[in-house]
Structure 1
Amino acid sequence: MQATPNTQAWTTTVLDECHELVRSQLRSLLQKMFENSNLAFLEFAEKAQSSASQIQFMEGLTIIQKNRGQVEEVFFRVAGSSFSRFGNPAYDSHVYKDEEVELTLLSKDEADIQVAMQNMVSSAAMGSAQELGAIRQRLAVLNNGKKIRDEEIPAGPECLARAFQEAARELILEHETMLIVYMLFDKFVLSKLAPMYKEYNERLLKAGLLPNLKYTVRKHHAARKPGSPGSAAGQTNKQSPAASQQGNTAQDQSLGDELFGNIMGLLAGRSQGGSGTGSDGASGGAGSGQATGNPLPQTEIVTAIDKVQHAAPVSGIEAEQIVAIQPGTEEHRNIVTTMSERLTAERKQLFTGIDRRRMPAADTQVIDLVGMMFEYLLKDEDLPNVAKAELCRLHTPYLKIAILDKRFFTDNSHPAHELLNTLANAATRWVFEDDLERGIFPSIRAVVQRVINEFVNNIELFSELLGIFNRSLNELVEKASAIEERTRQAAAGKEKLGLAREYAAQAIESRISGRKVPAAIRKMLGDVWLDKLMFIYLREPDSHSSPSWRLAIRTIEDIIWSVEPRLSEESQAELRVKLPVLRNRIAQAFVDLEAYGTTNNEAHLKQIATLQEDALDQPVDEQLAEIEDTAGEPEESPSIVEDFGQDITEDSAEEELLPPEIQAAAEKLKQIAFGTWFYIQESTDDHPVRVKLSWYSKMSGNYMFVDSMGVKSTVWQQRELAEMIATGKARVIGEGKVPFVKRALVAIRRILTGD
């Protein structure tokens, strides 16, 4: 179904209605969760076996109550975005599978959360399997017949779990406390979704989507025997309304059948019209009608292909040779040509083993089509050359697949079709030419080698290999996600630490400024008490108004007042009267705030006491003389406040002076979501680098990018990145790329029709 303004508007209306329904139901469930969290945490606090645990639970309750609004806001925003993004090719789905996951790079705490969420999602999905299956199929109609994965279902269990994980970042809680929050989310939200999905499904049904659908668990079907090649090429796929409701892949396959039929017809016309040879330069005319009397049986063609598959490889270029070639050289520019020559040689080798005059026309055209598909693979600019070299080794086995089962071209769920799509897609992101062992390349090579060694006519081998490869890919994705999360946390932690230091330093400096504080005390405040204020800022909610912060500030003021020079006998007398109480108060503050830093209290108190005695015992005229002697002298001790916010101020001033095109790029940059991939090429001599926007610093204005493995790649200031976007040195990579096989077929049809 071709999308039109009317169908798009109707789709939006249907999704909006579902969104409102889901939002209403979730708001009620989330409200119950928060209401019950109060009772749960109070019970945990009552049963706590230590005062520390009791305090932890009570603090957790306070944090949850205080941040409830932010949690709800983030949760509904992220969950709601699943509706607005649905069917939009500008966004890529993030795949969260439940297969075995390697957790060696995750901390124990992170692993606990990850495993808990996976279990919750699986349980919720199983509890609503029938409704979710029907929703998935009905939504596929709104998605132009494209198959909907579990993680793509708007407000599906995986979507809601991701939304809550994002929202839970608003809660700064101890690990045990956070696990309780997730448990509550599971108990009062995820496990209660079945009625919501029932209404969700009914809303889609009311909109007229697959009214006769009967949901059944889909079983993988065995490969059908190939039908008549001629009928496959020329058949028109007309479906009744009832037939169009038989599953979420029906429309996709119908479109694929039509595309395949068009291509086969074009190839047949080209052959009969004598307009050229096949894609290998050797097959033209081989099956243009001569085979009708005594055509080659399929078994002979398959046997001939099998001999090529298991013969010594045709000479060509291997991945290890490619990585050794210097970019920019003539040899490097000829890499694709060399690989193309290898494909042609393999097809020529095939035709030397059979009587080409007896080759059925449709089989000749299929062989041509597979050759053109792999030629298209060589032209894919997103694929590294080493990946092209490895995937091209599948050329001969895929000739055999296409002869055995032409559904390979049209059925998205065909295991060989799906495997090729998956390998090509993974290679664009996870193959690193500078280190072939680093990413997914070893797994791609292992899959290719097993196909070459083991594939005879056992199509089920591809299902097995797809499962194995997906597990390897999921492990890699999980590792990269864990590394990226650590990278992001490290950057955010560094910024938060810097902010805490700045805030603490300003608090101390504002109390020192304009006063004659002994150098030893200034140093103590800049070391010991700066650390204490930093830790209070980092640990305490509303740190600047917390009891610990107020105690620390009062103690700093007490210390400064008690050691600064006395300019009159009256002030000395006042100090003498107040000093006993002050000393006790300062000493007690050291004890009370011991958890926030240094524990060498005795030495610090002794140092303070010595300077207090100096202020008492030294004659006033001598103290006055010292002040007069130092008047006008520059401050020897550096300011406690570092020049921390200067960059931000300068950036803000510069932003006002940006040229219009850079200002426009800066505004565009603000709208780009985290997780967006960029191609960066700072100069024409550099290879483009594929990096992902992972984090933005509101303090410094820095944008941090990571590579595919989640490792920090580079950092740019907002202005620098805006300039690169404006000049074309940085560009956003378009998401929602069409799977490889379909892209190849569309491109081949375009070539054959001369478009």
Structure 2
Amino acid sequence: MIRDNNNEGGDKERRASALTRLDSADVLTHLKACQGLAAEHARTAFREYLKTLDEALNHEIDRAKTDKEAREYNEVQRLLRQSRAELERYFCGYLSEGFVKFKKGELHTRIGSETEGELSLVNNEDLEETIAISSITQRADAYFAEPLWALNQRFAVLNGGDHVTESSNPAAPVQFCESLRKALKLVPLDQKSKHLAYKIYDDQLLGSVAKISEDINQYLQGQGVLPHLKYTIPSGAAPASALQGDSDMVASDVMVNMPAPESMPDPSLPPEEYQASLLQAIRGLQNELVAGATAPLPANGVVVSSNDLLAALQSLQGAGGQPVDSATLGSNLVALDVGQIQARLHAQLQENDKDGAMKKNDMQTIDLVGMLFEYMLNDENLPDSIKALLSYLHTPFLKIAFIDPGFFEQAEHPARVLLNNLAEAGASWVANDGTAQYDMYNKIKNVVHRILNEFENDVKMITELLLEFSSYTKNIIRRQELMEKRATEKAQGEEKLREVKLRVNDEISERTEGKELPSAVLLFLLQPWSDFLSFALLRYGEKSDRWLKALAIADELLWCIEPKDLEADKSRQMESHDELVAAIESGFETIGYDQAKGRKLVEALSSLMKLAMQSKKAEPAPAPMRDKLERIAAEKAGTTDVRHENCSPEEEQMVDSLKMIEFGTWFEFDGGKRLKVAWYNARTSHYMLVDQMGKRVDMMSGLVLARQMISGKAKIISGSSKPFFERALENIFQKLNEKAEANGKLGGENEPE
């Protein structure tokens, strides 16, 4: 609520002005400036952090009790030193990416969010890491409550007035901690080293947050974004998100009270405890939102019992109250509307002469199941056909919620796990282009069909279906993982060969660029000798005598075909001739080069060397021939990176962004086809894409993938490793929390002056 004691009628106008005065160009300019400030400080601080961590490792090495412990710390220190530049790049990259996500409204960072709940398991090491980082974050949040609160308010203005919390603030401590956690994945750290790394960062983070929050607040304040913002401790009587004016201020001099929304339970809690806390928070918000809203008793004083509700739901189970046969659940199925289902429930109760007031708990259960399925219908992970199919489970799952209260409270409840598995299988093996791997659509359809037609009140049937479906999908997962592993190993071998060819092509290019060379020399270097160099590098490595000698032969040949004036040089040419010819013939024999072609090429090279001994220079290769030979060599080697191709700044930026994606990321291409990044070669910027069976489909360059993204022909499916049900509960909590805040603001504005 914004008030001006001198102009009470201008509240709404001034509030609108505060939120709409920034156009999209201004917002983008401010976000880029803030991103730059954060990146600059983060880079400097991260270098200091690595230096401090290195010193701490030295200390641990000195005080190690055993040689083994000292060697382990030494190895960690070596890896960290070796990866310094890459660690810094990844850390700053993840931090900068947060500003991009903020602009898109996609920033909702939670510690370890991509690993929590994976296969419904979190190992002890991951849990300890999450708890450690959460402690660091909470300490920083508490220590800098005032400047971080001010940042949240100012970023809310850049966010079009939408509420910003620490998880959605791109400069909050959680962003730094999560960026560090992701960056440290580049180095295999044991638990002791990881604990030391976080301990050092805990000591440093406060200084980083202080400087960055101060600079960004000063910048935004200087740009007129809430320039007179004042921090006050919230009082019990103040409405959430209240904005109160001061009589001594002009219109923009605003004092803002801290909002007091319901906080998200700590995800680092043990799964069962976290689920219980989350459900408790949702129930609390439901109570707050529906306080006093329970329908009054009708004239006949009837209260609808749970048994009455179950009887009505049993009548409704199916589509529109009719039995559902297998053919009805076809690929063109239309999703059921949750609101219409609830309306039909009310109509069914009337038909059964059981219409009346509902108990508050029953109303909340109906609403909660409705919100669960509404989230499912809006989940972009799920193909539309699966959304439609699973929407038919609304009524039977509402029955389960009434029959067994543990449905919401127990993370391992069979019905919850079954819904998780059905959703995950649909997302993994059914695509929006109408295809389904492993006959998965029909498998899911059979489960839905059996529930609709056979489930009455015995949850044991759900357990049996869960066991059958899980057994089927586990076999698929094993086969898919094996197929992906084989495809990855094959791709890694191909990419290693590609890297070798790129290296050889670069070595030859360095030696020929800017020089006028005869056709025979170019043909020799760009074709058979490039093959021999590739063989030597692949077989023996870049430090081997074979590789170095093969390069030396190329260098010596280029020297020998140039006319010389000094007698000493001419003598060396004569001495080198026979050795070079013998070495070249040996190389041709090693790679199995065609004997006739080899003899002809050796004779031509020998003639060129003898011509040079006579102080005569051979004719250079015609330009068209040289271009053709170099083009063939480049195509054979493949392109190294986007620097060698014509690409726009937007494409370069997208290529850099794609380097941040993790293995397992799904893309959806034109027509709804889904492919997953199973492996990525950072040196050649190639992505191995597999289909939903784990079969390799493409080895796509980063530039090609970037162009598809920019043109809208491909998009990343923003998935999560958390189970469907947990994601849904978190979404429900956020929606209810936002609604509670909005109601609080509305109530505050309507208070009498």
Q: Please, what TM-score do these two structures have when normalized by structure 1?
A: 0.52
Distance 1:559 1:421 in 2: 67
Which residue of 631, 640, 663 maps to 1:642? 631
1:252 paired to 2:278? yes
**Residue aligning to 1:209:** none
SS at match of 1:642: helix
Cα distance change, pair 556–165 in 1 and its aligned pair in 2 (3 A)? same
The residue correspondences of 1:219-298 to structure 2 (distance < 5 A) are 248=274, 252-262=278-288, 264=290, 268=294, 271-272=295-296, 288-289=297-298, 298=306
1:256, distance to aligned residue in structure 2 (A): 0.7
Cα distance change, pair 378–530 in 1 and its aligned pair in 2 (3 A)? closer
SS at match of 2:437: coil
CA contact (8 A) 1:694 1:705 kept: yes
**Residue aligning to 2:591:** 598
**Residue aligning to 1:399:** 398
Measured against aligned partners, the alpha-carbon deviations of 1:639-665 in whole angstroms (never above 9, x if no partner) come to 542267799899879969x6xxxx567
CA contact (8 A) 2:417 2:466 kept: no
Which residue of 549, 552, 556 maps to 1:551? 549
Which residue of 336, 347, 357 maps to 2:334? 336
Cα distance change, pair 367–667 in 1 and its aligned pair in 2 (3 A)? closer
Cα distance change, pair 508–64 in 1 and its aligned pair in 2 (3 A)? farther
Distance 1:589 1:31 in 2: 51
Cα distance change, pair 367–699 in 1 and its aligned pair in 2 (3 A)? closer
Distance 1:202 1:635 in 2: 64
1:370, distance to aligned residue in structure 2 (A): 3.7
Backbone CA RMSD of aligned residues: 7.4
Cα distance change, pair 461–734 in 1 and its aligned pair in 2 (3 A)? closer
**Residue aligning to 1:611:** 603
CA contact (8 A) 2:541 2:547 kept: no
CA contact (8 A) 2:666 2:674 kept: yes
1:552, distance to aligned residue in structure 2 (A): 1.7
Cα distance change, pair 96–391 in 1 and its aligned pair in 2 (3 A)? same
1:500 paired to 2:503? yes
The residue correspondences of 1:474-489 to structure 2 (distance < 5 A) are 482=485, 485=488, 489=492
1:71 paired to 2:83? yes
CA contact (8 A) 1:430 1:708 kept: yes
CA contact (8 A) 1:694 1:704 kept: yes
SS at match of 2:631: coil
Distance 2:54 2:548 in 1: 38
**Residue aligning to 1:90:** 107
1:437 paired to 2:437? yes
Distance 2:60 2:736 in 1: 55
Distance 1:511 1:243 in 2: 63
Query: Which ranges of structure 1 fall in alignment gaps of 5 or more residues?
Result: 1-11, 44-60, 102-120, 147-152, 168-184, 205-236, 273-287, 326-334
The residue correspondences of 1:152-551 to structure 2 (distance < 5 A) are 166-167=186-187, 189-190=190-191, 248=274, 252-262=278-288, 264=290, 268=294, 271-272=295-296, 288-289=297-298, 298-299=306-307, 301-302=309-310, 305=313, 314-315=322-323, 322-323=330-331, 325=332, 335-336=333-334, 343=341, 347=345, 351=349, 355-357=353-355, 360-362=358-360, 363=362, 366-367=365-366, 370=369, 374=373, 377-378=376-377, 383-404=382-403, 416=415, 420=419, 423-424=422-423, 427-428=426-427, 430-433=429-432, 434-438=434-438, 441=441, 444=444, 448=448, 456=457, 458=459, 465=466, 468=470, 482=485, 485=488, 489=492, 492-493=495-496, 495-503=498-506, 505-506=508-509, 513-515=516-518, 517=520, 526-538=526-538, 547-551=545-549
1:398, distance to aligned residue in structure 2 (A): 1.4
Cα distance change, pair 198–320 in 1 and its aligned pair in 2 (3 A)? farther
Cα distance change, pair 605–554 in 1 and its aligned pair in 2 (3 A)? farther
Cα distance change, pair 344–483 in 1 and its aligned pair in 2 (3 A)? farther
CA contact (8 A) 1:382 1:428 kept: yes
CA contact (8 A) 2:376 2:387 kept: yes
Counterpart code for 1:531: D
Measured against aligned partners, the alpha-carbon deviations of 1:535-586 in whole angstroms (never above 9, x if no partner) come to 345566657xx64344224434666889x89999x99x979974xx754565
CA contact (8 A) 1:302 1:400 kept: yes
Counterpart code for 1:95: T
Distance 1:244 1:608 in 2: 73
SS at match of 1:356: coil
1:675 paired to 2:661? yes
CA contact (8 A) 2:392 2:448 kept: yes
SS at match of 1:336: coil
**Residue aligning to 2:728:** 740
- State the percentage of identical aligned residues: 19
Of structures 1 and 2, the one with the larger relative CO (CA 8 A, separation 6+) is 2
Cα distance change, pair 340–609 in 1 and its aligned pair in 2 (3 A)? closer
Distance 2:654 2:385 in 1: 35
CA contact (8 A) 1:559 1:608 kept: no
Greater mean alpha carbon deviation, residues 88-97 or residues 77-86 = 77-86
Cα distance change, pair 650–694 in 1 and its aligned pair in 2 (3 A)? closer
1:749, distance to aligned residue in structure 2 (A): 10
1:531, distance to aligned residue in structure 2 (A): 0.7
Cα distance change, pair 615–239 in 1 and its aligned pair in 2 (3 A)? closer
Distance 1:91 1:476 in 2: 34
SS at match of 2:334: helix
Greater mean alpha carbon deviation, residues 77-86 or residues 247-256 = 77-86
CA contact (8 A) 1:401 1:408 kept: yes
Measured against aligned partners, the alpha-carbon deviations of 1:463-488 in whole angstroms (never above 9, x if no partner) come to 99499499689769957975885697
Distance 1:408 1:607 in 2: 80
CA contact (8 A) 1:501 1:534 kept: yes
CA contact (8 A) 2:681 2:687 kept: yes
1:301, distance to aligned residue in structure 2 (A): 4.7
Query: Which ranges of structure 2 fall in alignment gaps of 5 or more residues?
Result: 1-37, 143-163, 168-173, 206-259, 747-753
CA contact (8 A) 2:383 2:427 kept: yes
CA contact (8 A) 1:259 1:746 kept: no
**Residue aligning to 1:214:** none
The residue correspondences of 1:87-166 to structure 2 (distance < 5 A) are 90=107, 93-95=113-115, 124=125, 166=186
1:529, distance to aligned residue in structure 2 (A): 1.8
CA contact (8 A) 1:678 1:732 kept: yes
**Residue aligning to 2:210:** none
Measured against aligned partners, the alpha-carbon deviations of 1:410-444 in whole angstroms (never above 9, x if no partner) come to 88787755764675466456532532234865675
Distance 2:672 2:534 in 1: 42
Distance 1:133 1:632 in 2: 64
Cα distance change, pair 533–515 in 1 and its aligned pair in 2 (3 A)? same
